[in-house]
Amino acid sequence: MSSPKDHRGSDSSRIVISVDAMGGDRGPAAVVAGIYTSAGINPELDFILHGPADELEKLVQRRRGLSERCQIRDAQGVVSMEDKPSQVMRHGKGTSMWSALESVRAGEATVAVSCGNTGALMALSMIRLRKLPGVNRPAIAILWPSRNPQGFNVMLDVGADIRADAEDLLQYALMGSAYARNGLALTKPRVGLLNVGTEEHKGRAELKEAHDLIAAREDAGNYKFVGFVEGGDIPGKRCDVIVTDGFTGNVALKTGEGTASLIGDLLREAFAYSPLSRIASVLALTSLRRLKKRIDPRRVNGGIFLGLNGTVVKSHGSADATGISAAVKLAYELARSGFGDRLAARVASAAEAAQDGDSQKDVNKS
């Protein structure tokens, strides 16, 4: 068995992604179609695919050249969307999800991708990969379409944990900015702390405390802190990384998705309304496709679990081949940049700086 280092870094080495073929709404066929697309785009990419071997063999054989780049690991069990995380933690061994994480744990693959049950995936990731030293609560980070030049902002936590104290929010700032450096290629990401924006409001003492903590760690964390931001700044350009607790982040994420989806449907209705508007929709097709691509959640498919010994990409449960391929692309980029090790170094150095009572700047490249 090889070490994680073997699969990462230079262009000459192969990058191996561990993929859970089961648990998504569209079944393993969509997953195999997605990794086939990714394999075509990135020649240095290999896969370990987890699920019922007989079924997967057939699907992989149908895709030309895929079997040479894809190992199959038999796992007969499947974690369903209805399974409770606590049950999966006790009885999850033998499932494709467990097996997919195991490849990362063993160092065979750098990043795991799954479109299964989020709660179960986080619970299994916590017990199998374990938390990074210095991290109390792991977080789920997502990319959000924004007005910034890079096209997306990072928001975390969107639902790993419903609570976060000031120290947790500081960890989110460190992890989120590390992700923005590696995933969005920003040298010094701007971090904002989500609030209702009115200083007058009393309470939420943890936000004021977090404000001071995050401001004090700007240098050690290699980010710029812009202070409190509001909901409107999540798709805005005031900052690149939005830090919040998992309850608020989850509500914001789903509200934004729901609003975008409603507008999309109303737009379709508007274009279907009259013969003239139907002609218009044909003329505007290219422009509308470009717009759709820009805000299509499938194109930025993948929440990242941060704060674990290993990187896990959670794809949407309803992801189709395009969505799976986007999640694999993200996994590939993170693997290639050595994101996991950099994040671990960053978190460890920040914890050290906190212990020393001063900031240290020697890991600013991570």
Name the site residues for a second copy (rule: CB under 8 A).
Answer: 84-86, 118-119, 145-147, 159, 162-163, 194, 196-204, 230-236, 244, 246-248, 250-263, 265-267, 269-271, 273-274, 276-277, 279-284, 286-288, 290-291, 294-295
By C-beta, is 155 or 173 nearer to a second copy? 155
Closest distance of CB 351 from a second copy, Å:
25
Closest contact distance (angstroms) between CB of 205 and a second copy is 11
Residue with tokens 């992700």: 179
Q: How many CA atoms lie within 13 A of 270 on its CB side?
A: 8
Q: CA 176 to CA 189: how far, in whole Å?
A: 9
Q: Tell which residue, 83, 268, 244, has the closest CA to residue 170.
A: 244
Question: What whole-number distance in Å separates Cα of residue 296 and Cα of residue 75?
Answer: 32
- Considering beta carbons, is residue 4 or 249 the nearer one to a second copy? 249
State in angstroms the smallest separation of the CB of 162 from a second copy: 5
> 21 vs 158, which CB is nearer to a second copy?
158
Give the strands of the sheet with 152-156, arranged side by side.
70-74, 45-51, 15-20, 111-114, 311-314, 303-306, 139-145, 152-156, 241-243, 190-194, 224-229
CA pair distance 173, 83, nearest whole angstrom: 31
Beta carbon nearer to a second copy, 70 or 88: 88
The tokens describing 94, both together, are 């033998």
CB of 117 to a second copy, least distance (A): 10
139-145 and 152-156: which strand pairing?
antiparallel
Ramachandran angles phi, psi of 163, nearest 5°: -120, 155
Q: Which is nearer to a second copy, 12 or 198 (CB)?
A: 198
Residue 47, token pair as written in the block = 């896969």
Q: Which two tokens stand for residue 241?
A: 């990384």
Shortest CB 256 distance to a second copy, Å: 4
Provide the minimum distance between the beta carbon of 203 and a second copy in the complex, in angstroms, as a whole number.
5
Measure CA of the first residue to CA of the last residue in the chain; give whole Å.
27
Give CA–CA dist 155/260, Å, rounded: 17
Closer residue to a second copy (CB): 127 or 279: 279
For a second copy, which is the closer residue by CB, 31 or 191? 191
CB 45 within 8 A of CB 18: no
Nearer to a second copy, 5 or 201 (CB): 201
- Name the one residue in this structure whose structure tokens are 């998504």: 24
Least distance from C-beta 178 to a second copy, angstroms?
24
Q: Least distance in Å: CB of 29 to a second copy?
A: 27
DSSP annotation string for 239-268: -SEEE--HHHHHHHHHHHHHHHHHHHHHHH
CB of 144 to a second copy, least distance (A): 9
Distance CA 244, CA 253 (A): 11
